[in-house]
Structure 1
Amino acid sequence: MSVRFAGRRVVVTGAARGIGAEIARRFAAEGAKVAVLDRLAVEAKDVAAEIGGSAHEVDLRDVAGTRAAVRQAIGELGGIDVLVNNAGILRFAALLDIDPEEWDDVFAVNTRSMLVTTQVAARVMIDAGGGVIVNSSSMGGKAGGDGQAHYAASKAAVIALTRASAAELGPHGIRVNCVCPGYVATEMGAATRTAEKIEAWSAMSPLGRLGEPEDVAGVVAFLASDDAAYLTGQAFNVTGGMITH
Structure 2
Amino acid sequence: MSQRVIVTGGSGGIGAAIVRRFLDDGARVAVLDRRAPAESTASVFVAVDLSDPLDTRRAVGEAVETLGGVDVLVNCAGIFQHAALLDISVDDWDRVLDINARATLVTMQAVAPVMLEARAGAIVNIASMAAKHGGGGEGHYAASKAAVVALTRAGAQEWGCHGVTVNAVCPGYVLTEMGADTRSEADVAAWSAKSPLGRLGIPEDVAGVTHFLASSAGGYLTGQAINVTGGMIMH
Mapping of 1:176-195 within 5 angstroms? 176-195=166-185
* 2:13 maps to 1:23: no
Q: TM-score, normalised by structure 2?
A: 0.98
Deviation at 1:7, TM superposition (A): 1.2
Q: How many Å separate the matches in 1 of 2:35 and 2:10?
A: 9
* 2:5 maps to 1:10: yes
Corresponding position of 1:3: none
Q: How many Å separate the matches in 1 of 2:29 and 2:53?
A: 22
Mapping of 1:85-124 within 5 angstroms? 85-124=75-114
Q: How many Å separate the matches in 2 of 1:67 and 1:145?
A: 30
Q: How many Å separate the matches in 1 of 2:186 and 2:214?
A: 36
Q: How many Å separate the matches in 2 of 1:234 and 1:243?
A: 14
Q: How many Å separate the matches in 2 of 1:82 and 1:118?
A: 11
Q: 1:127 aligns with which of 109, 117, 125?
A: 117
Deviation at 1:157, TM superposition (A): 0.8
Q: How many Å separate the matches in 2 of 1:98 and 1:162?
A: 26
Corresponding position of 1:38: 33
Mapping of 1:94-243 within 5 angstroms? 94-243=84-233
Deviation at 1:127, TM superposition (A): 1.2
Q: How many Å separate the matches in 1 of 2:119 and 2:182?
A: 45
Q: TM-score, normalised by structure 1?
A: 0.94
For 2:41, what is the secondary structure of its paired residue? helix
AA matched with 2:35: L
Q: 1:65 aligns with which of 55, 65, 77?
A: 55
CA deviation map 1:34-93 (0-9, x unaligned): 00110123xx2x34x235x11111110000000000000010000000000111100111
Deviation at 1:16, TM superposition (A): 0.6
For 2:112, what is the secondary structure of its paired residue? helix
List gaps (5 residues or longer) in structure 2.
none
Q: How many Å separate the matches in 2 of 1:202 and 1:7?
A: 37
AA matched with 1:26: R
AA matched with 2:15: G
AA matched with 1:30: D
AA matched with 2:165: R
AA matched with 2:213: L
Contact kept, 8 Å, 2:19 with 2:41, in 1: the verdict is no
User: 4+ residue runs of structure 1 moved beyond 4 angstroms?
Assistant: none
Deviation at 1:239, TM superposition (A): 0.2
AA matched with 1:144: G
Counting matched residue pairs gives 235
Contact kept, 8 Å, 2:196 with 2:230, in 1: the verdict is yes
**Percent pairwise identity:** 60
